[in-house]
Amino acid sequence: MQPASVRAYRRVPTPLPFSSRRRVLDLLSTLSPHYTRECTRNLNPLYVQQARERYASLIEEASYYAHRRDLVSGEHKYFFAINLYNSFDVIPDLFATLFRVAAVLGYHNVFVSIYENGSTDQTKALLRIFDALARSVGLRITIRTSQRTRGAFNHRIEYLAEVRNAAFVPLHELRDSENEYFDTIVFMNDILPCIDDLLELIYQSRLNNAGITCAADYMYHDDLGAPVFYDNWVARDINGTALENAPFESIFHDGASSLRFQHHLPVQVQSCWNGIAVLDPAPFYLPKHVRFRMARIAEGECSASECSLICNDYWEAGYGRILMAPRVKLAYDRKVFDIIHPPRRNLTAIRGYVRLGGLPDNPRTDPQDRAWFGPHDRLFTEEESEPIDFLPSPHHVWCWGWDGAGDLDGPDVDPVWEEVPEKSKSQHAVDVKHDRSFKRH
């Protein structure tokens, strides 16, 4: 992405030794989140063993380069970007998870950029506390707050694009002032994530050298009395159709994608965001530079979400390897979180259940693991570690536009099938251009 000579001479923060990072992690573990505190308690021991082996490369990578100053150019740097607005209720969970994940990745490898604007609750006060805690453990952080809100005559997508770009300002400042580049961007909304949710998204992003990797987010459907998939204004199947605000089995229109989704396997999609998105930063650094934007309506471009448009721009830039990781299930409130992360129960007590064969903890023989959501410690299968064979973009993508400057209710124009640029339709759009895979030591 940039010459090795540039990376070798950039200023790098002094890393903490592994033993010190462990002590910091133990200390931060006493910072209790409200809603996600059960994420890593009473876990299935076999899942714990699987997770340690699965994410060991992230820990080993951070420890290895922390002790090898001559190999600083090999460090993998993570840039976390977060937008917040009236987020007082979720901040304890968001930050507790962020602290722990940064401890795994290595504080010297992480930079956090938060942009908050227009909050009327105590979000700004909590941010001041988080800023002090972060600096006390050597976690680099920039928090910028503003009183700005969306005006009555501001286009909603233009406003949201500007807010998201504001969280990216330090990414470019560090490049320009310190010659510091990042290898992975993690963009987080105001969601309730578990530690292994973030680690799994990072793992899948790097395993597949993906341009964009997202989770699956859910909202409560009052009529159905159950959670359904949420962000269908952005998410598009690999055949270009919109995903559905529907129960688990009815989200995808493409048959093969639906089958993988129901088996909790990574799925290639045309676009997604879904609460957390892990991005390859190369399109932000290289000409022509990608950034969040509103549609070029005067040129006839459909006025899609700023997150849909950045996915389209990634395709056109040749970074169209976009995938969704169904294992990572995100909620925006406690009610949905508790439903999609049910506790593991004694299966022998469920309706006289008798195991029909297979290993004792094999998810393929565990009816609870085959449920819509299942426990958070669902065991990994071999297929989840297999890289995806990415296909070029579909020729057309379903778009439901939002043209109105003052419309707060939703898309306000008729949906259309919009043709994608020719570059997105070629194999070149999904060829690996920036190798972010794990380096074994």
The predicted model gives 123-131 an average pLDDT of 89
For residues 117 and 124, give the distance between their C-alpha atoms in angstroms, rounded to a whole number: 9
Question: What does the mean pLDDT of the chain come to?
Answer: 85
The predicted model gives 112-118 an average pLDDT of 95
Q: Poorest-confidence range of 290-304, 356-370, 378-392? A: 356-370
Which residue has 């993998």 as its token pair?
76
Domains in the chain: boundaries: 4-341+376-430
Longest Cα–Cα distance of the chain, Å, equals 65
Q: For residue 29, what are its two tokens?
A: 């573990």
The predicted model gives 251-255 an average pLDDT of 95
Q: Poorest-confidence range of 98-102, 231-235, 276-280, 437-441? A: 437-441
Exposed, middle or buried: residue 221 (CB in 10 Å: 0-12, 13-18, 19+)? middle
Instruction: Annotate 119-162 with DSSP letters as a single string.
Output: --SSHHHHHHHHHHHHHHTT-EEEEEEE-----TTS-HHHHHHH
pLDDT at 357 over 50: no
Q: Are strands 184-188 and 140-146 parallel, antiparallel or unpaired?
A: unpaired
Cα separations in angstroms, 3 against 171, 294, 406:
18, 32, 46
The predicted model gives 291-317 an average pLDDT of 94
pLDDT at 85 over 70: yes
Q: Which residue blocks in 288-424 are alpha helix, DSSP H?
A: 306-316, 334-340
How confident is the model at residue 29, as a pLDDT?
54
pLDDT at 407 over 70: no
- In one-letter notation, the amino acid at residue 206 is R
User: Which phi and psi (to 5°) does residue 26 adopt?
Assistant: -60, -40
- For 361-400, b/e burial (b = at least 16 CB within 10 A) is eebeebebbeeebbbbbbbbbeebeeebebebbbeebbbb
For residues 303 and 410, give the distance between their C-alpha atoms in angstroms, rounded to a whole number: 12
How confident is the model at residue 97, as a pLDDT?
92
pLDDT in tens, 370-402: 677 877 888 898 999 999 999 999 999 999 888
Cα separations in angstroms, 115 against 146, 188, 203, 229:
8, 11, 26, 27
How confident is the model at residue 249, as a pLDDT?
83
SS3 259: helix
Cβ–Cβ < 8 Å for 260, 266: yes
For residues 214 and 324, give the distance between their C-alpha atoms in angstroms, rounded to a whole number: 5
How confident is the model at residue 20, as a pLDDT?
57
How confident is the model at residue 18, as a pLDDT?
59
How confident is the model at residue 343, as a pLDDT?
78
Cβ–Cβ < 8 Å for 235, 243: yes
Q: Poorest-confidence range of 36-45, 84-93, 117-126? A: 36-45
pLDDT in tens, 9-41: 344 455 555 565 565 555 555 566 778 887 888
How confident is the model at residue 390, as a pLDDT?
97
pLDDT in tens, 211-239: 999 999 999 999 999 999 999 999 999 99
Q: Poorest-confidence range of 202-206, 320-324, 345-349, 412-416? A: 345-349
Q: For residue 141, what are its two tokens?
A: 């952080």
For residues 276 and 190, give the distance between their C-alpha atoms in angstroms, rounded to a whole number: 9
350 vs 118 pLDDT, higher one: 118
Q: Poorest-confidence range of 141-145, 149-153, 323-327? A: 149-153
Whole-prediction pTM value? 0.88
pLDDT in tens, 317-339: 999 999 999 999 999 999 999 98
Contacts of 330 (CB under 8 A, 6+ apart): 191, 192, 193, 197, 215, 216, 217, 218, 274, 275, 276
Residue 369: CA atoms inside 13 Å, Cβ hemisphere, count? 17
For residues 132 and 341, give the distance between their C-alpha atoms in angstroms, rounded to a whole number: 32
> Averaging pLDDT over each range in 10-19, 257-266, 337-346, which range is the top one?
257-266
Q: Estimate to the nearest angstrom the gap between the alpha carbon of 259 and the chain centroid.
A: 22
How confident is the model at residue 75, as a pLDDT?
81
How confident is the model at residue 129, as a pLDDT?
86
pLDDT at 71 over 50: no
pLDDT bracket for residue 148 (50, 70, 90): confident
CATH topology for 4-341+376-430?
Spore Coat Polysaccharide Biosynthesis Protein SpsA; Chain A (3.90.550)
Query: How does DSSP classify residue 349?
Result: G
Cβ–Cβ < 8 Å for 402, 410: yes
Nearest to 228 by CA among 206, 243, 207: 243
Exposed, middle or buried: residue 220 (CB in 10 Å: 0-12, 13-18, 19+)? middle
The predicted model gives 116-141 an average pLDDT of 89
How many CB atoms sit inside 10 A of residue 222's CB?
A: 7
Cα separations in angstroms, 341 against 179, 210, 259, 322, 390:
42, 27, 21, 25, 30
pLDDT bracket for residue 68 (50, 70, 90): very low
